[in-house]
Amino acid sequence: MSEYIAPLKDMQFVLRELADMDAVSALPGHEEVNAELADAILEEAGKFANGVLSPLNWTGDREGAKWKDGEVTTAPGWKQAYSQFVDGGWNALSCPTEFGGQGLPHIISAMVEEMWNASNTSFMLCPMLTRGAIEALQLCGSDEQKAMYLPKMVTGEWTGSMNLTEPQAGSDLAAVRTKAIPQADGSFRIHGQKIFITYGEHDLTDNIIHLVLARTPNAPEGVKGISLFVVPKFIVNADGSLGERNDVRCVSIEHKLGIHASPTCVLAFGDNAGATGWLVGEENRGLEYMFIMMNAARYGVGLQGIGLCDRATQRAAEYARTRVQGVEQGGKSRDKVAIVRHPDVRRMLMQMKSRTEALRAVAGVTAAAMDLAHGHPDTDVRKAQQAFVDLMIPIVKGWSTETALLVTSLGVQVHGGMGFIEETGAAQHMRDARITAIYEGTTGIQAADLIGRKIARDGGATIGAVIAQMEAVRAELAAADDAQLAAIGASLEAGIAALKSGVAFILAHQGEAIRQAAAGAVPLMELFGIVAGGWQMGRAALVARRQLKAGEGDGAFLKAKLLTARFYADHVLSAAPGLAHTVLHGADAALEMADEAF
């Protein structure tokens, strides 16, 4: 088994050179957060990932979570690791200071979360969903609810869960049937069943705070009649102590392809008198509130994809450097060489490396925009940055996770036959990655969100502003008087042209021809992601070349960054025109095919 090493140099590069850490540090409340502090936090987080979480990943996959008589026992070592996680203050990293959090910027917590996802995806799911629940309650809950739940959720003493899905209501939440019956004391009795609830039951904490979508009597049909309720596993007394067990029961946990150590629960609410819950915010606005938690979770799942890409890349690279097989092509020696010397293995490793670094850069820039959207003193800046974040969430989630499927599969391929053997660990990354393109909104849902809410709703204004930034980088690459940068710029130019044509098609087909637009949504999402990655890799190449010329920085790292950007331009960004063709011309055959012909 290879050892996980946090990619600190690349993360520090993204923080300093691409995500503009200085701008984030200048925000009110973040004056003491500088690059040096970020480096120290990342280094300690890397030690925790390597020393605590990574060793449990294999055993967690082998042992998994266990269910018996309604109780869930986590995998061996999980409780001890979670205690260390909480004691180290990691759960509170970016949580609000008013409830005991450290209030650090998203740009730092995003890098930390990537490490934890890389080292142990199943473990990281629990704190990820807790933080989403914290954000939803912070923004939508009453003062009483915030005071009752948030301090212990922030520390990690209690965890949170998100309860949307029902057997008949997957992506279509209009079909939610769980009922909420009002009581004289202002509470509600919750009756219904929820499925696919991550960490809906476990033994890590004394209490679990469930956020549940349900319908009140006479609520409007569809999504406009859904409300959000807070339903604790144990009722919390006025003094903060735990009272009686609520009428919530884990009926079973799922047996899954991957993330075996993360308990995926079927929860029954109100099999007896009814689970006691309290309305969060206003009635019939539940889906709106839940989307706060869901968007946080979607970004978090994107980080899962990036982390799995990085871990698969590290494992494949180590294997390639140590596995001796065959002689070097074109060489005179007949000595056997490590497979890293074979051109096709190098191609696969570069595919993995370049895509992972592009994903990290895009996610990092998006995280910095979250910080600016939240804390910048200028209202117009906050609004523009939030529009950028909203646009990029489906890219960070959808493109990153689809890329994770490719990268983890390549990781198996680099290992050859040994990749198909579980003991190498490569297969686990591929299995764990598969769910990331499904939960918290499938790739198709992300793409539909992108073309509808994020592109068409403002007539393409936000994506147009992003394309203008891409154009500026392309122009800088072209003007650099450097063959390497010029080649990257030429690929970016073609990618931008492809993206423009795809966006124009989507905008033109949002009315009566919506099915044509919808059929091209996923290819457009991939196109946008690839070009956004090219934009950031182009920026990275400019920085690397400038620092190399000035004799600054780590020369070996910067040369590798420049070559990685060039490879991305030639092997990944070069696919953009083909994807644009698919967006423009690929719908007819799919839409015209008879249902029975599939």
The residues annotated as belonging to the active site are 440
Output the DSSP codes for 357-381: HHHHHHHHHHHHHHHHHHH-S-HHH
CA dist., res. 170 & res. 8, Å (int): 38
Q: Which residue shows structure tokens 């990092």? A: 364
CB proximity list for 551: less than 8 A, separation 6 or greater:
none
User: What is d(CA 231, CA 408) in angstroms, rounded to the nearest whole number?
Assistant: 38
Q: How many Å apart are CA 123 and CA 261, to the nearest integer?
A: 7
- Are the C-beta atoms of 396 and 361 separated by less than 8 Å? no
H or E, element range at 492: helix 483-508
Q: Which two tokens stand for residue 570?
A: 């030639």
Q: Both tokens of residue 3?
A: 């050892």
Q: To 10 degrees, the CA torsion angle through 375, 377, 378, 379? A: 60
Q: Sort strands 71-73 and 227-232 into parallel, antiparallel or unpaired.
A: unpaired
Angle between the N-to-C axes of helices 343-375 and 521-550, in degrees from 0 to 180, rounded to the nearest 10:
90
Residue whose token pair is 């070069």: 574
Q: Is the Cβ–Cβ distance between 258 and 435 less than 8 Å?
A: yes
Burial class (CB in 10 A: 0-12, 13-18, 19+), 592: exposed
Q: Report the alpha-carbon distance of residue 442 to residue 165 in Å, rounded.
A: 13
Q: In Å, what is the CA distance from 482 to each residue of 165, 333, 522, 562?
A: 53, 36, 35, 12
